[in-house]
């Protein structure tokens, strides 16, 4: 027995560059069935052909305290209550059947609560066949005349097909028909008017572009999944009325192409719509019986009716099926009527039935989960494992969702208000499912043989047309044979006529043979010519081919070169990009540095400006100071010169007096006492200003000083007389130049070596004003209460040429006396010791004070009341 195994192409080999990336979303349609009674409350409204709206029914709102809501749901298409089975089929199932005929798989399932019209949609009702009979009808309408003989295709238990030659198929047919069990489908069909009505589909539907050079075989299987067990509804079991056998559940297996299938499931080859539907009906009946026997609720089981279409191409002659298993294509359309999606409590099931119902619901739950995971994976690019294996239902259809074919779902809705909550759940599931995408199945590989093989050897009247064949035309051109019956022995006409006709025919034949030979020769010549031209063409084509090949190789080289160049350029670009980044970094750094430097420069510039301004100010100040200084010096010099002049004059006068006048008498003590009396109030005065401006300057001359030997230790020089008087006079002379000078201390000059200048100290008790170097009046005002200041000017005394003396002030000393108690008197502990009775020495004269000043100048220690501020206020130019 010659047989070949067919390769199942349910999982087609996906070639690179094919439509692998194309994906289609799961097509979700919605069908709203009419209300059972017109006065029922309705919660569903069809807005348009793609949108449906759910209203919260009044009863639900009252019971659940729920708000009134109107939620819209969109579908690929919404079919309203008046939609006919034909309309639904044309939109939903027709493309699936078309795909099936073109070698692609499909899955169609109905989903909804019990009573929503799933079975009505899938199977239909008498007089109004559902999608299933219509699919079968379309399949057989399309492939009817191209069907293979029964048993040419043989299903095996590995989910693939075997193919056998027609003789083997015939033998098997005879063998099977001899068996007593199978009844002719037609006889059964006639006995069941219910389904006869269903398949009496008036509307003719046929797939376009059916491959006529193939032969087809249709196999159907029908299973039920109940309580997560799979039952074969087409299994032939001998019914034992005494001990009815429980149906055996089936297992799922994976074939070599990783397609899931029900192991050992009966696949019945069917040759017509009626036969196929009869098989379905058989299964349906069995299902009903089992449900009754096992006390099951039919709405809780899923039923799967599968139509498997096997196609194999005809051989080159178009006579027989090509015995090449690689050329066999199997496609499958699964029609699934799912169990009611309602939750368990709604059916008020109990005990076993509740558990079973739970399991069935579990299948639907798993289906929902699978959809959700698939959607999540596709939307967010995650790679979560889809829990197909959690239920038989999802496991069986795993391949469809992994891209093995189109998936379509019809969501059935009963618009009655009682179903509102369940309908909501259904809508949500539908929404999720709509977003799942499955890979678009690849197109079936077309047979490599030339098309049109089927009609090649058909006799006259075949599909080629009614035109006569060539031998018949030739025969018609032959002279007809005369009647060749010899009725009379003397008949001499018939035979000669026959001979004549035969001769003519022979002649004609010869002519025709000659013609044929000629034509043959001509044809051979033509053939030769054609061959030649062909070879020429071949050569030409070869040449061209070579040229093109050269061109291609050249282009390949060029491409290689360009690719290399491209690589190099890419590399360069990369390097340049890197360099650019580095440079940009550098640029940024430099810019930052530049900014900081600019800021620094600006700071420096502003500093410079400030400094300039300051310097400018200082310059102006200094120049002004110098200008003043100059003026002052000029004035001082003028004064000095005047002084000198005056001194000279005075000396001259004195000399004159010395020369001309007798020596004056020594001053008497009482006058001195008077002088002292004048001084005493000053010395006992607690005021920091003991000498008022009214006090007349007491200038003791040299004689006076000399009469007090214990007090002026170093005043025995005669020159001091003249100096002191000089000074007093000079000071008095100065009075018109400045404010009156109150000289309280007497300058003492030291005995010096001849030729050396003598130091003269003049103390100015006029507050706030002093002379420094005899050049300018410097205000040294002290505002502190209880502070008394003496300013002593130091000067050098020179002997003038004229015999006189000149004083040149060189320094100023400030004697400050702090009187913390306010009653302390100025005294010098060393120079004016206190009286034995504790009182201060009454005698305080100018001379003493002057000596104090001199001693201070010499750096001697003063009494506690004195502070020595010997700060020479010389101004350096
Ligand atoms: P399900 O299979 O979802 O439980 P059925 O298909 O058995 O529901 O439908 C229940 C009843 O409703 C049946 O009597 C059926 O004839 C009726 N029915 C359902 N859908 C329609 C429809 N679109 N038009 C008319 N009758 C329908
Ligand atoms: Mg049903």
Regarding predicted confidence, which is higher, 212 or 602? Answer: 602
Given pLDDT bands bounded at 50, 70 and 90, which one contains residue 662?
Answer: low
Cβ of residue 688 lying under 6 Å from some atom of ligand 1:
no
Residue 273 alpha carbon to ligand 1 centre in Å: 23
The answer to whether residue 185 scores a pLDDT higher than 50 is: no
Cβ of residue 702 lying under 6 Å from some atom of ligand 1:
no
Closest residue to atom 19 of ligand 1, CA basis: 117
The pLDDT tens digits for 22-80 are 788 899 999 999 999 988 889 999 999 999 999 888 877 666 666 777 889 999 999 99
Residue 411 alpha carbon to ligand 1 centre in Å: 13
The pLDDT tens digits for 272-289 are 998 999 999 999 888 888
Residue 337 alpha carbon to ligand 2 centre in Å: 7
For residues 508 and 492, is the Cβ–Cβ distance under 8 A? Answer: no
Supply 265's token pair: 């499931």
Cβ of residue 160 lying under 6 Å from some atom of ligand 1:
no
Given pLDDT bands bounded at 50, 70 and 90, which one contains residue 842?
Answer: very low
Domain boundaries, the chain: 23-179+209-439, 501-625
pTM metric for this prediction: 0.54
* Secondary structure in 3-state letters for 581-648: HHHHHHHHHHHHHHHHHHHHHHHHHHHHHHHHHHHHHHHHHHHHHHHHHHHHHHHHHHHHHHHHHHHH
CATH architecture label of 23-179+209-439: 3-Layer(aba) Sandwich (3.40)
The answer to whether residue 589 scores a pLDDT higher than 90 is: yes
Residue 791 CA to residue 774 CA, distance in Å, equals 12
Cβ of residue 33 lying under 6 Å from some atom of ligand 1:
yes
Regarding predicted confidence, which is higher, 596 or 548? Answer: 596
Cβ of residue 114 lying under 6 Å from some atom of ligand 1:
yes
Given pLDDT bands bounded at 50, 70 and 90, which one contains residue 737?
Answer: very low
Cβ of residue 79 lying under 6 Å from some atom of ligand 1:
no
Closest residue to atom 9 of ligand 1, CA basis: 117
Given pLDDT bands bounded at 50, 70 and 90, which one contains residue 408?
Answer: very high
**Which atom of ligand 1 has the smallest separation from the CA of 32?**
23
Residue 323 CA to residue 325 CA, distance in Å, equals 6
Q: Is 119 annotated as a binding residue?
A: yes
Q: Is 351 annotated as a binding residue?
A: no
Residue 386 alpha carbon to ligand 2 centre in Å: 28
Closest residue to atom 24 of ligand 1, CA basis: 33
Q: Is 114 annotated as a binding residue?
A: yes
Probe target for ligand 1 pocket from 35, 120, 121, with the most ligand atoms within 8 Å of CB: 120
Residue 745 alpha carbon to ligand 2 centre in Å: 143
Residue among 408, 439, 407, 409 at smallest CA distance from 427: 409
Q: Nearest ligand, CA of residue 302?
A: 2
Q: Which helix (H) or strand (E) holds 861?
A: none
**Which atom of ligand 1 has the smallest separation from the CA of 116?**
3
The answer to whether residue 783 scores a pLDDT higher than 60 is: no
For residues 869 and 816, is the Cβ–Cβ distance under 8 A? Answer: yes
Q: Is 501 annotated as a binding residue?
A: no
Q: Is 113 annotated as a binding residue?
A: yes
Residues 6+ apart with CB under 8 A from 174: none
Closest residue to atom 5 of ligand 1, CA basis: 117
Collapsing DSSP to helix, strand or coil, 193 comes out as helix
Residue 606 CA to residue 618 CA, distance in Å, equals 18
Q: Which of 494-503, 545-554, 763-772 has the lowest mean pLDDT?
A: 763-772
Cβ of residue 125 lying under 6 Å from some atom of ligand 1:
yes
Q: Which of 344-348, 388-392, 753-757 has the lowest mean pLDDT?
A: 753-757
Cβ of residue 129 lying under 6 Å from some atom of ligand 1:
no
- Count other Cβ atoms within 10 Å, centred on residue 712: 24
Residue 787 CA to residue 639 CA, distance in Å, equals 32
Phi, psi torsion values for 474, nearest 5 degrees: -65, -45
Phi, psi torsion values for 505, nearest 5 degrees: -60, -40
Residue 800 CA to residue 260 CA, distance in Å, equals 146
Residue 280 alpha carbon to ligand 2 centre in Å: 15
Cβ of residue 118 lying under 6 Å from some atom of ligand 1:
yes
């Amino acid at each position: 027995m010659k047989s070949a195994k067919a390769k199942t192409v349910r999982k087609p080999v996906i070639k690179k560059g094919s439509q692998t990336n194309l994906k289609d979303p799961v097509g979700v349609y919605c069908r709203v069935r009419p209300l059972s009674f017109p006065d029922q409350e309705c919660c569903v409204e069809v807005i348009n052909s793609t949108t449906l709206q759910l209203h919260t029914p009044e009863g639900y709102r009252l019971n659940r305290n729920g708000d009134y809501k109107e939620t819209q749901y969109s579908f690929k298409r919404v079919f309203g209550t008046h939609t006919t089975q034909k309309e639904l089929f044309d939109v939903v199932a027709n493309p699936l059947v078309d795909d099936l005929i073109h070698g692609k798989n499909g899955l169609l399932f109905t989903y909804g609560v019990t009573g929503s019209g799933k079975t009505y949609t899938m199977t239909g009702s008498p007089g109004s066949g559902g999608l299933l009979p219509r699919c079968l009808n379309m399949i057989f309408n399309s492939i009817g005349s191209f069907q293979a003989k029964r048993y040419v295709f043989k299903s095996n238990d590995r989910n693939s097909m075997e193919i056998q030659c027609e003789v083997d198929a015939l033998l098997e047919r005879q063998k099977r028909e001899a068996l007593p069990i199978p009844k002719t489908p037609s006889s059964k069909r006639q006995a069941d008017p219910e389904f006869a009505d269903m398949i009496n589909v008036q509307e003719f539907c046929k797939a376009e572009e059916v491959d006529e050079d193939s032969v087809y075989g249709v196999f159907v299987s029908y299973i039920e999944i109940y309580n997560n067990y799979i039952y074969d509804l087409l299994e032939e079991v001998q019914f034992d009325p005494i001990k009815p056998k429980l149906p055996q559940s089936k297992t799922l297996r994976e074939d070599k192409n990783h397609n899931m299938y029900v192991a050992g499931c009966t696949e019945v080859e069917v040759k017509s719509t009626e036969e196929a539907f009869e098989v379905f009906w058989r299964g349906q009946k069995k299902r009903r019986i089992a449900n009754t026997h096992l006390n099951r609720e039919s709405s809780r089981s899923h039923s799967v009716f599968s139509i498997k279409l096997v196609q194999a191409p005809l051989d080159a002659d178009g006579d027989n099926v090509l015995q090449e298993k690689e050329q066999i294509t199997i496609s499958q359309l699964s029609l699934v009527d799912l169990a009611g999606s309602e939750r368990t409590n709604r059916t008020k099931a109990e005990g076993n039935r509740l558990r079973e119902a739970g399991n069935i619901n579990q299948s639907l739950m798993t289906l929902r989960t699978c959809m959700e995971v698939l959607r999540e994976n596709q939307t967010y690019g995650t790679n979560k494992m889809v829990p197909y294996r959690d239920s038989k239902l999802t496991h069986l259809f795993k391949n469809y969702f992994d891209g093995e074919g189109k998936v379509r779902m019809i969501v059935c809705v009963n618009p009655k208000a009682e179903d509102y909550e369940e309908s909501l759940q259904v809508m949500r599931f539908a929404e999720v499912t709509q977003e799942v995408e499955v890979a678009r199945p690849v197109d079936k590989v077309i047979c490599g043989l030339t098309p049109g093989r089927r009609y090649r050897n058909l006799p006259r009247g075949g599909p080629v047309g009614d035109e006569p064949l060539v031998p018949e035309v030739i025969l018609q051109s032959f002279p007809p044979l005369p009647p060749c019956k010899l009725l009379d022995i003397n008949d001499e006409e018939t035979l000669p006529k026959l001979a004549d006709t035969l001769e003519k025919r022979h002649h004609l034949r010869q002519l025709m043979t000659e013609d044929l030979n000629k034509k043959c020769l001509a044809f051979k010549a033509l053939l030769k010519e054609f061959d030649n031209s062909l070879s020429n063409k071949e050569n030409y084509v070869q040449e061209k081919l070579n040229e093109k090949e050269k061109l291609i190789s050249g282009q390949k080289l060029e491409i290689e070169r360009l690719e290399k160049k491209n690589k190099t350029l890419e590399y360069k670009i990369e390097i340049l990009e890197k360099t650019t980044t580095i440079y940009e970094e550098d640029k940024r750094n430099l810019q930052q540095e530049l900014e900081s430097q600019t800021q620094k420069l600006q700071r420096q510039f502003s500093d410079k400006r400030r400094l300039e301004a300051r310097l400018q100010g200082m310059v102006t100040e200094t120049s002004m100071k110098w200008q003043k200084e100059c003026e002052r010096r000029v004035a001082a010099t003028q004064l000095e010169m005047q002084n000198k002049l005056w001194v000279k004059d005075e000396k001259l006068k004195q000399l004159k007096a010395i020369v001309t006048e007798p020596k004056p008498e020594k001053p008497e003590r009482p006058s001195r006492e008077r002088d002292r009396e004048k001084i005493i109030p000053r010395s006992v005065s607690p005021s920091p200003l003991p000498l008022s401006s009214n006090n007349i300057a007491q200038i003791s001359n040299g004689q006076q000083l000399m009469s007090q030997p214990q007090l002026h230790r170093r005043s025995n020089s005669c020159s001091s007389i003249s100096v002191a008087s000089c000074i007093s006079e000079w000071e008095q002379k100065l009075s018109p130049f400045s404010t009156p000078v109150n000289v309280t201390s007497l300058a003492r000059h030291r005995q010096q070596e001849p030729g050396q200048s003598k130091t003269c100290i003049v103390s100015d008790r006029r507050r706030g004003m002093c002379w420094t170097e005899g050049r300018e009046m410097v205000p040294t005002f002290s505002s502190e209460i209880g502070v008394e200041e003496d300013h002593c000017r130091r000067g050098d005394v020179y002997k003038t040429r004229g015999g006189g003396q000149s004083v040149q002030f060189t320094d100023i000393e400030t004697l400050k006396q702090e009187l913390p108690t306010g009653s302390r008197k100025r005294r010098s502990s060393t120079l004016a010791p206190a009286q034995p009775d504790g009182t201060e020495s009454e005698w305080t004269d100018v001379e003493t004070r002057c000596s104090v000043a001199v001693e201070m100048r010499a750096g001697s220690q003063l009494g506690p009341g004195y502070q020595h501020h010997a700060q020479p206020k010389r101004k350096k130019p």
